[in-house]
Structure 1
């Protein structure tokens, strides 16, 4: 791999959890740190403050186990995918940005949070989602069934816009059903991963 080190012999190394895709931290490597990382399969940096090689976890035991290294288009930044052991930040948090190292599904995760909020405030008279939670699991399951049938009907037609509309309704109501049963998308992903061989 061609790496363009800067004038100080360093290259930025972005550390990403291979499973959650969360960025955990940013460090710097020199050529020796890169070579040691490849050799030991544990991410090693060049510490600018200590002026020496530093293997993440050498004191805490919170290692970053190497999975893959990619170079960017200019060959001057590394993306290192890892399986982290424990927290990554020296402050004890999962990431150096204070975020939990949990999987995120983009907008769907945001939607789950809105649904959760509506569930917790089910006394709201203006929320459709809150009204479903008030009616109970049977009504929510019934809505999922109705939306599934409507999605199947539109799938057999040629109007893609209607198919997408009903598919969105189905997914939305399914997310509500998951919350009603005490589950989230992460539980479904875990189940699917368990089946994937």
Structure 2
């Protein structure tokens, strides 16, 4: 029963939940929070960490290591949200752009960006 309950909880966990956790940890003291420590080092440091995680995610994908890809993908998402927070950008800001882009086909959207 415990395993089934744990799975139900995990199924409901969203990227918005992660963003809320990052927001809460950003407001906490630095010593107890890895997130706070990252944020204290500024956007450039957060961007480097995101880059490291992106490379690790790519390697996992190229190696076709599903388990590693999932784990690195989670790290990548976390560090992306931390970078957004460090840069004063919200997940909702990114979602708004995605909503605009998905209103038309990907090829049309890309062509429109190239004209701008």
**What is the TM-score of this pair, normalised by structure 1?**
0.44
* Structure 1 residue 180: Cα displacement: 1.1
Could you say which residue in structure 2 is the equivalent of 1:82? none
Could you say which residue in structure 1 is the equivalent of 2:41? 135
Could you say which residue in structure 1 is the equivalent of 2:73? 167
Deviations 1:121-162 (A, max 9, x none): 2x3302100110111111100000000011011100121000
Query: Which of the numbers 71, 79, 82 marks the counterpart of 1:176?
Result: 82
Query: Which of the numbers 94, 114, 117 marks the counterpart of 2:21?
Result: 114
Deviations 1:2-23 (A, max 9, x none): xxxxxxxxxxxxxxxxxxxxxx
Cα 1:175–1:134, aligned 2, differ >3 Å: closer, same or farther? Answer: same
* Structure 1 residue 107: Cα displacement: 2.3
Higher relative contact order (CA 8 A, sep 6+): 2
Query: Which of the numbers 91, 111, 114 marks the counterpart of 1:185?
Result: 91
| Structure 1: unaligned runs, 5 residues or longer | 1-104
Query: Which of the numbers 142, 158, 162 marks the counterpart of 2:64?
Result: 158
| Structure 2: unaligned runs, 5 residues or longer | 1-11, 105-116
Partners of 2:81 and 2:94 in 1: CA distance: 11
Q: What's the RMSD between the two structures over aligned residues?
A: 1.6
Select the structure of larger CA radius of gyration. Answer: 1
Query: How many residues were matched structurally?
Result: 92
